[in-house]
Amino acid sequence: MSENIENVQCLIIGSGPAGYTAAIYAARADLKPVVYEGLQPGGQLTTTTEVENFPGYPEGTQGPEMMEDMKKQAIRFDADVRFGMITEVDFSERPFKVKADDGKTIVAETVIIATGATAKWMGLESESEFNGYGVSACATCDGFFYKGKDVAVVGGGDTAAEESTYLAKLCNKVYLIHRRDELRASKAMQKKVFNTKNIEILWDHTTKEITGKTEGFSKAVTGAVLTNVKTGEEKEIKVEGFFVAIGHTPSTDLFKDYLDLDENGYIITKDNSTQTNIEGVYACGDVQDHVFRQAVTAAGTGCMAAIEAERFLSH
């Protein structure tokens, strides 16, 4: 049994821009971090094709390539990056005991959580088929590609309202598709939507199918078939971009017995810090950020978490 116990100074749970940046900084601080990448090494960015808003890539880059670069950089400084998952945590006392799916028990002096969040999808086959080829869950990331074009946003909360008004500045027309006859968004956000001339709200509609064309390896969205929930009538809209804005789910189930979470399940961290309610446990990236959700902000908090872990260990 004892040979399956491993003592580490810094354990990083999760990857993506937050986890890999934390690994780079922790490794350079000689914390010899061990990283368990999780089910989706590289996180949400591996499902994104073009990334054009991350500083330092003047021609843009591909999401999976960028994550591979970050991972290589962490490994170069001797971070121990492992494919696998953490299945159980015990934060009741330090050092923290954590179990991995490879059968190991990790005893860690500090833990950095970078498990991210996943976008909620509608669950349509056509949605996954065109994901990254016109279907997106992030207007800030991908809106630029649809400058002067017609797009659709599905949802009725603050996220959908924000995405719609953001896209309205870039696009010719924005259809906001909502299954109810009133928005759930805050009154201020609703006002913005109603006052934006090129947003058309399609009340009482759900999406039956996203339509598109496939030529060889290239795919493109051409429109969507909608159903009126009250009349059952179908209508088709012509759009080149389709944005799903029905929320995100943070990957925090593993930690809920120990860490303070907000009403949506995001880890609560102290102001201007990545420190959780447990000393020596830090959270960075989309698992604690439901506001910005960008690769560059995730990387920034990954850096903060590693610096905070290093300072904590040196006291």
Instruction: Name the residue among 46, 50, 75 with its Cα closest to residue 61.
Output: 50
The 10s digit of each residue's pLDDT in 112-129 is: 999 999 889 999 999 999
Do 220 and 281 fall into the same domain?
Answer: no
Indicate whether 216 and 266 sit together in one domain: no
**pLDDT confidence of 48, banded at 50, 70, 90?**
low
Residues shown for the chain: 315
Residues of the chain with pLDDT > 70, as a percent, come to 98
- Give me the amino acid identity at 74: A
Q: Are residues 229 and 258 in the same domain?
A: no
CATH of the domain at 40: 3.50.50.60
Query: Encoding tokens for residue 139?
Result: 């207007």
Asked if 286 is an active-site residue, the reply is no
Q: What pLDDT score does 1 carry?
A: 42
Same domain, 110 and 125: no
What pLDDT, in 10s, does the model give residues 250-266?
999 999 999 999 999 99
The per-residue pLDDT for 119 is 86
Is 157 in the same domain as 214?
Answer: yes
Domain count of the fold of the chain: 2
The answer to which of 33-37, 92-96, 116-120, 207-211 has the lowest mean pLDDT is 116-120
Domain shared by 209 and 269, yes or no: no
Q: In angstroms, what CA-CA distances link 249 with 238, 252, 267?
A: 30, 9, 12
Q: Radius of gyration of the chain from Cα atoms?
A: 21
User: From the candidates 138, 171, 284, 303, which is the catalytic residue?
Assistant: 138
Domain end (from 244, 261, 295): 244
Domain end, chosen from 217, 244, 271, is at 244
Could you tell me whether strands 135-136 and 105-113 are parallel, antiparallel, or unpaired per DSSP bridges?
A: unpaired
Cβ-contact 201, 226 below 8 angstroms: no
User: Looking at 141, 171, 284, 303, which residue is catalytic?
Assistant: 141
Under a CB-based contact definition with an 8 Å cutoff, are residues 209 and 124 in contact?
A: yes
253 is catalytic: no
Q: State whether 264 and 154 are in the same domain.
A: no
Q: Is 141 a catalytic residue?
A: yes
| Spatial contact of 136 and 245, defined as CB atoms under 8 Å apart | no
Residue 49 binned pLDDT confidence (cut-offs 50, 70, 90): low
Structural domain including 202 reads: 121-244
Give backbone dihedrals phi and psi of 298, rounded to 5 degrees, phi first. Answer: -65, -45
Residue 50: which region, alpha, beta or left (left: phi > 0; alpha: psi -120 to 50)?
Answer: beta
**What average pLDDT does the structure give for the chain?**
94
pLDDT digit string (tens) for 6-47?
999 999 999 999 999 999 999 999 999 999 999 888 787 776
Instruction: Say what the pLDDT of residue 47 is.
Output: 67
> 244, 265, 298 — which closes off a domain?
244
Average pLDDT over residues 274-303: 96
Q: How many Å apart are CA 17 and CA 68, to the nearest integer?
A: 10
pLDDT attached to residue 44: 78
Determine which one of 30, 69, 90, 142 is catalytic: 142
